[in-house]
Amino acid sequence: MTTLARLWRDHRIAVLAFLAALAVTLFFAVRFVLFAVYWTDPAHRNQVPEGWMTPGYVARSWHIPRGALLAELNLPLKSDRPHSFEEIAETRGVPLSQVLGEVSAAIAVLRAKAPVE
């Protein structure tokens, strides 16, 4: 009998726990690599804000603190889910261009406070 078959027969719960831990580890490893590849692409840095973007996405793209951007835009720090700038404009009852203008101004203010190298 092979070692794996013996382990499965004698320690089934431990083998299942190990496989579950391995699956979780692989999931987060793949997620980390995809995240790193995405954000190291220069095309994703300092993107001009668009309606589909969220404040968190813009903050990461411009290397500014998410909380500072939310505070500058008078948005709550916590919400049930990320909201796009289109949704924020709709909620406020203002044109999207006005919200995007506020975002651009907030980025300029935050970058002036803490310039990035």
CA distance 102 to 83: 16
Q: pLDDT at position 43, please? A: 84
Per-residue pLDDT averaged across 25-52, rounded?
A: 92
Q: What average pLDDT does the structure give for the chain? A: 91
Pairwise pLDDT comparison (50 vs 4), residue with the higher score:
50
Q: DSSP assignment of 59-102, as one string? A: HHHHT--HHHHHHHTT--S--SS---HHHHHHHHTS-HHHHHHH
Residue 1 clears pLDDT 80, i.e. is over it: no
More confident residue, 114 or 108: 108
What pLDDT is attached to residue 79? 82
DSSP letter at 46 equals S
What is the rounded CA–CA span in Å between residue 107 and residue 68? Answer: 10
The pLDDT, as a whole number, for residue 103 is 96
CB contact set of 114 (below 8 Å; sequence gap of 6+): 64
